Amino acid sequence: MVNESEVLKDVLVLGAGQLGMAVLRALAPRARAAGHRLTVLVSPASLTEPSGQEALERLGVDVIGFDLMADEASLAALFSRYRTVLNATGFVAGPGTQMKITRAVLAAGVRRYFPWQFGVDYDVVGRGSGQPVFDEQYDVRQVLRAQRGTEWVIVSTGMFTSFLFEPAFGVVGLDAGKVNGLGSWETRVTVTTPDDIGRLTTEILLAEPRIANEVVYLAGDTISYGELADVVERVTGKKVERTLWTLDRLHADLANAPDDVMARYRAAFARGDGMWWEMSRTFNRRHGYETVDVEGYLRSRLEC
């Protein structure tokens, strides 16, 4: 059996947003049982938010306020106090931040690093996808692979399941009874809920044999846009209006509004390659962990 006490000693989680809290909810009880406390880094401004502080206090984690916009040397000095850094910050800190954090982790000599890669398969997507953040994520992988001092684990999860139903994304309009397919109705996408990501990332962190220097795939579901429309009809009991947004249309939309983040995402998730993987490849399927699929997520959401 893995020595959880040793693995969970001196762990720093970056961020307490949607994913960060999911990680902390899963990881904090394991750390307490092993006799350790987790530390979470949050923005100094969030320290003034009582509700967030109360949630973290209930989890029994230590909280430090630190600005990720700080220089690389300051980040490295902070990170050097920890054996493991798990990055759940997302893209909110702006372009270049993930690369800066990665360089600081390596400069600090952190033993094990889980970078913010909780998304698509950036190895398949590569550079030049039209998504600057995807380019940066690809570059982060190359930097990690080019060194031997820090173990790394990349957890690929696809998009958050809830994002499929985000009105601004424009794929599912529940109120209007519409589903817009991206690229083709056969184009597939992998999705996972944050709670499943947090739970499964904890299992990956503690897995025996130890997981190091590899990409681990998770998935709550891998679904085509046509299957998504079927799910919406089945769950709501109503026919939906189906409209296909072709790649040509999506690329034209992006050309007309190159700074529109959602137009970039729609074009990216219409491409297929790198946006999905078979469930049989996933850590959760291979190890028998149940996850929430799109239909289960939607039923739960509509019951709330």
- The residue extents of the domains of the chain are 4-158+192-219+276-291
Which residues have CB under 8 Å from 57's CB, separation 6+? none
Q: What percent of the chain has pLDDT over 70?
A: 99
pLDDT score for 51: 74
Taking residues 58-87, what's their average pLDDT?
96
CB atoms within 10 A of CB 95: 11
Q: What percent of the chain has pLDDT over 90?
A: 86
Taking residues 113-138, what's their average pLDDT?
91
pLDDT tens digits for range 222-256: 999 999 999 999 999 999 999 999 999 999 999 99
- Determine the Cα angle at 38 with ends 33 and 41, to 5°: 165
pTM of the model: 0.95
Which residues have CB under 8 Å from 37's CB, separation 6+? 31, 60, 61, 62
With a cut of 70, say whether residue 1 has pLDDT above it. Answer: no
pLDDT score for 2: 53
With a cut of 90, say whether residue 52 has pLDDT above it. Answer: no
pLDDT score for 177: 96
76 torsion bin: left (phi>0), alpha (psi -120 to 50), beta (else): alpha
Q: Which CATH architecture has domain 4-158+192-219+276-291?
A: 3-Layer(aba) Sandwich (3.40)
> What is the chain's mean pLDDT, rounded?
94
Taking residues 56-76, what's their average pLDDT?
94
φ and ψ of 233, to 5 deg:
-65, -40
